Homo-oligomer: A and B are copies of this chain.
Amino acid sequence: MPGGKRIQKVGIIANIRKDIALECSSGLKKWLQEQGTEVFLDAEIAAALGEKCGLERQTLAARADLLVVLGGDGAMLRASRSVRKFNIPIVGINLGTFGYLTEVNLNEMYPSLERILRGDYSTEERMMLDMEVVRDGQTSCEYTVLNDVVISRGSLTRIIDMETAVDGSYLTTFRADGLIISTPTGSTAYSLSAGGPIVFPSQNVIIVNPICPHTLTNRPIILPSSITINVKVWSEEEGVNVDLDGQESITLKSGDTLIVRKSRYVTTLVSSSNRDYLEILRSKLGWGRLPAINR
């Protein structure tokens, strides 16, 4: 979506485990105030910087026009989940390894933000997935993710059976180390390492990708995002995990059902003109380098 609105209030979130993130937060706050912008700091950064005015993420997201995230893809995923209800544009400032989600490199932070503040940016909506666990007929928990919901056998030595239905129709029972249910954004994360395809992010599809399946003809599946996926998990021992964006984790009991569907929430990413998805692919996947094979 081209044409952003003028930004007057900015929230800052940072990966406080990185020293550089704190340092940049401090400098950024000062710079933003000099531009006449109101600044809100995430409670964690405020505490780390010894400032008092920190806000909880949700309050911050409710008040700001733009969220700046200082960190890597991990920080972006965390931020996107916690502010999902506020439809606020998010821009990631990449502090280390070049990522899929962080739009701006550190050395281009100020000129990029200058353009963004005056409304010279476009936004891109990224699909999210809602997941709930049904145990004994009752929803026991609910989550929303930007990348993926991953069922895995964790430290069980024995295999798990994942009885999978789409819109109520039986698909198959995956017998595997796990099952990745991913958005297009998540296609270049875990799913890629499990043999999944690259899915351009704007699409309304869900990827279902078994991890090390016993049945060798089980393959990644691309489903319409209008579909609801039910996975009933069977295991001899307790202790099947569900990982959310690879960052949070819950434990299932045998017989639990996971229900996954497109979320009504989206993550709104700011796109500056700096680089596009094709460039990110070429760079992250080394497509510009010499091929591995001489024939």
Contacts and interface: CB of A to CB of B under 8 A. Distances in A.
A290 interface: yes
Given A220-B197, A221-B200, A222-B197, A157 B292 contact: no
A213 B189 contact: no
A142 to B, nearest CB: 19
A203 B200 contact: no
Interface string A166-199: 1001111001110000001001111011111111
A40 to B, nearest CB: 27
Contacts of A53: none
Most buried by B among A217, A276, A285: A217
A97 interface: yes
Contact of A193 (B97, B214, B223): B214
Contacts of A176: 193
Interface in A276-295: 276, 278, 281-282, 284-295
Interface in A144-180: 152, 154-155, 157-159, 166, 169-172, 175-177
Given A212-B211, A285-B216, A294 B99 contact: yes
B169 A197 contact: no
B295 A214 contact: yes
Contacts of A198: 219-222
A190 B295 contact: yes
Interface stretch (A30-38, A243-251, A259-267): A243-251
Contacts of A216: 192-193, 216-217, 219, 285, 292-293
Interface of A: 72-74, 97, 99-100, 152, 154-155, 157-159, 166, 169-172, 175-177, 184, 187-190, 192-200, 202-203, 205, 207, 211-224, 239, 241, 243, 246-249, 276, 278, 281-282, 284-295
30 contacts: A99-B294, A152-B155, A154-B154, A155-B249, A166-B278, A169-B276, A172-B287, A175-B291, A176-B193, A189-B295, A190-B295, A192-B293, A193-B214, A193-B293, A195-B195, A196-B197, A197-B220, A197-B222, A198-B219, A199-B221, A211-B212, A212-B212, A214-B292, A214-B293, A214-B295, A215-B286, A215-B287, A216-B216, A216-B217, A284-B292
